[in-house]
Amino acid sequence: MTKTHEFILGQQDYKTEYEGHILDIEYVISSVSDDIKIVDMWRYWDSKNHNHSTPDMNEEMRIDSLSEEFKARILNKLRSIEELQR
């Protein structure tokens, strides 16, 4: 079963100009590694109207494009939510 969590992109979180955009992360807990695995991400650019949402099908919004600090914050937050120790 996958779960989702919402993050807000800050100025230093992404390599382009998406400050203030919402990033929904879909994730699972791996039964092999007992850790978080990112399944997919969606970026919303209008926080009041999620009808403007789209899964970014190109490589524009993938985990590799996020800053290292933001990746660590995402994983740490999800681990905290799921009460996983790392």
User: What is the pLDDT at residue 51?
Assistant: 42
The model's pTM is 0.74
CA nearest neighbour of 5 among 35, 34, 28: 28
**Do residues 4 and 25 make contact, with C-beta atoms less than 8 angstroms apart?**
yes
CA nearest neighbour of 25 among 36, 41, 10: 41
User: What is the pLDDT at residue 53?
Assistant: 44
Q: How far apart are CA 45 and CA 70, in angstroms?
A: 18
Domain ranges for the chain, please list them: 3-81
- Determine phi and psi for 23, rounding to 5 degrees: -115, 115
**Do residues 36 and 82 make contact, with C-beta atoms less than 8 angstroms apart?**
yes
Residue 21: pLDDT band with limits 50, 70, 90: confident
Residue pLDDT, tens place only, 31-65: 999 999 988 888 777 655 554 444 444 545 566 66
**Do residues 42 and 21 make contact, with C-beta atoms less than 8 angstroms apart?**
no
User: What is the pLDDT at residue 5?
Assistant: 94
User: What is the pLDDT at residue 44?
Assistant: 76
